Chains A and B, each alone.
Chain A
Amino acid sequence: MGEIIVGYDGSEVGRAALREASALAKELGDRVVIVFGYAPGGYGGGEIPTHREAVEELGEKITAEATELAESLGVEHTVELLPLRPDHALLKAAEERDARMIVVGSYGEPPLRGVILGSTPHKLLHTADRPVLVVPASN
């Protein structure tokens, strides 16, 4: 059984990606692996572990939602929370599982803004060693 990695961050974009990935997975008889990469930014001091805990909690909440959505879509799924930046988390999960592809949603931001903010699809398109599917948020 193949696996499809999908980046999920609790946003509309993430839901779009998960829906698309689920539809594909069902057709291919694959399983989706829902990945949430959390790496609270920043040195520069102060209460980092508290910050990390807060982010972890958020991650747990978000992946619980993702599980619910995946169940309602009737697709086989697992969840991975990784303490990495989103792009690294997706690449790592994909490599470890030798996944078929990576699916991420896109905010449809102008490229320059994406560069400044660190657009995950942008990074993946350039660095992934396997197919990447970018799903625009439906609106």
Chain B
Amino acid sequence: MESAAVPTPHDSSSAGARAPEVGGKGLKAGALGYLSNLVIGVASTAPAYSIAVTLGFVTAIAGMGFHAPAVMIVSFIPMLLIAAAYNYMNKADPDCGTSFTWVTRALGPRLGWLTGWAIVAADVVVMATLAYIAGVYTFLLFGMHAAAANILDVSIIAAIWIVLMTWICYVGIELSARIQYGLLGIEILTLGLFAIVALWKVYVSGSALSGSSHIALSWFSPFDLPGGTTALVSGVLLGVFIYWGWDSGVCVNEESEDSANGPGKAAVMSTILLVLIYVVVAASSQAYAGPEFLTNNAEDVLGALGGSVLGSPLDKLLIITVLTSASASTQTTILPTARTTLSMARFGSIPKAFGRIHPRYLTPDVSTLAMGAISLVWTLIIINLSTSVLSDAITGLGFQIAFYYGLTGFACVVYYRREIFKSVRNFIMVGVAPLLGGLALAFVFVKALITYSDPAETETGSSFLGVGVPVAIGVGLLLVGVVVMVFANVAYPKFFARKTEVVNPGILEGTVKGEASVMAD
């Protein structure tokens, strides 16, 4: 590899000398259409898994009452606004799909570096819950309820799970787009079936659980929560987590037809599809069993409800759905993280080894293995501490996601600042929308920070370093990032001396197409 290569935008002339007869770069382009992007966006979010591990913690929030469906809707709003930011950043720089490069360009290398750190930290933290769920559901699939409740047994499966998934990413095996369509189709159909049967039992056959009640319009209203704004914001912090992942659909950019437009639109569509899934499943679960039941089974709501709603053997379908959803999510966790560190390495902001490509598998092998190893250690520690630490980790994750999604929103406004006042459309789409998204996430971040600093508000109930566990995990890891960055600053002065950039005005006028930025020396 060459010495620290620094990408520059709008410059395609300086591509390194190519070997003779290089095939057209776009041969694979066009392989992924709009539908694929949509599928990837939704599948990466892993709706079945996300709702299984989150819904119960939302209902568990003090003062939430019956308003979990409202949280699903409200959380969707900042996500939609940030989707607009992704859409426009992708137009300008379809080269690098994640926030690291965009924030580096718009807001400078320090915030960019921290964004990269936040992405990696969030992905490592989520691995614990993913692997835990994979462990529990594997046992549930075979009816081994005792093993599913045994931490040691679950730890073993969780470890095997992470090793297997890391290996799959390492050797670069992937499911074909067709299989992904199939899996996602089954996932949505199963969740739909679950919702319909649950509602049938509530309204028609009357065979729902004792906490059952009819759906009320107030469930969807964010304005009259018993716990007020505090409860709503705590809910949104979790809600941010369930929508996390759709950015993957944006990130495939170049491989898609019309790479500057398609993926962004797909990201917006997939967000809308997700909100529908979540609201329907949340409302029907709550109607069927009541919030108290969901709270008591917060670690895996769908596992707890499946047997009762669908009965045997259809409940296995639900378990398989959560498992495939978790596997998709594990892969879309390892893969983008490895690519983020690959990108950071190629920007010369972390050790060059992370930029290594395996000669046979063509995957970023060092990045992938490092991600797997760190996740494994983290997971085994967290699972064995207690399941309440696990739930606080999900809450903590919200901080990291809010941090880097929020920064992406601000990055969009700053990057496009000279274009904002050129038309009403620009003003709304690259000004107001991403700014509001960023501000909303910043508000959630600060408000939740105040709430969860008090250990009494957390699942664990105890404090770590004087603050609640979610804050220790969520904000603590970001602060560790700041410390590490100080060292990185010394080690990689060239990266940290980067100047910020603004967008090429032609991007919005349509005269210039966003180009994949090119590595130059």
Which residues on A are within 8 Å of B, measured CB to CB?
9-11, 38-60, 62-64, 67, 78-84, 89, 116-118
CB A94 to nearest CB in B, in angstroms, measures 14
Q: Do A43 and B36 touch across chains, with their CB atoms under 8 A apart?
A: yes
- A51 surroundings in chain B (CB, below 8 A): 339, 342, 357, 364
Q: Do A45 and B362 touch across chains, with their CB atoms under 8 A apart?
A: no
Closest 10 CB pairs of A and B: A46-B336, A45-B248, A47-B339, A41-B172, A45-B251, A46-B339, A82-B23, A50-B343, A47-B343, A44-B332
CB B375 to nearest CB in A, in angstroms, measures 16
Q: Mark B173-192, 1 if CB is under 8 A from A, else 0.
A: 11001001000000000000
CB B247 to nearest CB in A, in angstroms, measures 7
Q: Mark B481-521, 1 if CB is under 8 A from A, else 0.
A: 00000000000000000000000000000000000101100
Pick from B21, B174, B357: contact of A43, CB below 8 A: B174
Pick from B16, B25, B251: contact of A83, CB below 8 A: B25
Q: Do A57 and B2 touch across chains, with their CB atoms under 8 A apart?
A: yes
- A56 surroundings in chain B (CB, below 8 A): 18
Pick from B19, B24, B36, B332: contact of A63, CB below 8 A: B19
- B32 surroundings in chain A (CB, below 8 A): 43
Q: Do B346 and A46 touch across chains, with their CB atoms under 8 A apart?
A: no
Q: Do B19 and A39 touch across chains, with their CB atoms under 8 A apart?
A: no
Q: Do A49 and B44 touch across chains, with their CB atoms under 8 A apart?
A: no
Q: Do B97 and A84 touch across chains, with their CB atoms under 8 A apart?
A: no
- A81 surroundings in chain B (CB, below 8 A): 18-19, 21-23
CB A118 to nearest CB in B, in angstroms, measures 7
Chain A, residue nearest B335 (CB): A44
Pick from B19, B44, B250, B357: contact of A44, CB below 8 A: B44
CB B170 to nearest CB in A, in angstroms, measures 10
Q: Mark B1-43, 1 if CB is under 8 A from A, else 0.
A: 1100000000000001111111111011000100010001000
A-B contact count (CB 8 A): 159
Q: Do B21 and A44 touch across chains, with their CB atoms under 8 A apart?
A: no
Interface size on B, residues (CB 8 A): 65
- A59 surroundings in chain B (CB, below 8 A): 19
- B254 surroundings in chain A (CB, below 8 A): 48-49, 52
- B245 surroundings in chain A (CB, below 8 A): 45
- A53 surroundings in chain B (CB, below 8 A): 346, 518-519
Q: Do A11 and B174 touch across chains, with their CB atoms under 8 A apart?
A: no
Chain A, residue nearest B517 (CB): A49
Residue B59 at the A interface, CB < 8 A? Answer: no
- B252 surroundings in chain A (CB, below 8 A): 43-45, 48
Known: A50-B343, A83-B28, A116-B173. A45 touches B247 (CB 8 A): yes
Cα A84 to Cα B25 in complex, Å, equals: 10
Q: Do B21 and A48 touch across chains, with their CB atoms under 8 A apart?
A: no
Q: Do A50 and B339 touch across chains, with their CB atoms under 8 A apart?
A: yes
CB A64 to nearest CB in B, in angstroms, measures 7
Known: A49-B94, A49-B95, A83-B27. A41 touches B362 (CB 8 A): yes
Residue B311 at the A interface, CB < 8 A? Answer: no
- A63 surroundings in chain B (CB, below 8 A): 19
- A48 surroundings in chain B (CB, below 8 A): 97, 251-255, 339
Q: Do B339 and A43 touch across chains, with their CB atoms under 8 A apart?
A: no
B332-366 interface with A by 8 A CB criterion: 332, 335-340, 342-343, 346, 355, 357, 359-364
Q: Do B355 and A54 touch across chains, with their CB atoms under 8 A apart?
A: yes
Residue B133 at the A interface, CB < 8 A? Answer: no
Q: Do B340 and A47 touch across chains, with their CB atoms under 8 A apart?
A: yes
- B166 surroundings in chain A (CB, below 8 A): none
20 A-B pairs besides A10-B359, A47-B97 with CB distance below 8 A are A40-B362, A41-B172, A41-B361, A42-B335, A43-B40, A44-B248, A44-B331, A46-B98, A46-B336, A47-B100, A47-B101, A47-B339, A47-B343, A48-B251, A48-B255, A49-B253, A50-B339, A53-B519, A55-B357, A83-B25
Q: Mark B130-147, 1 if CB is under 8 A from A, else 0.
A: 000000000000000000
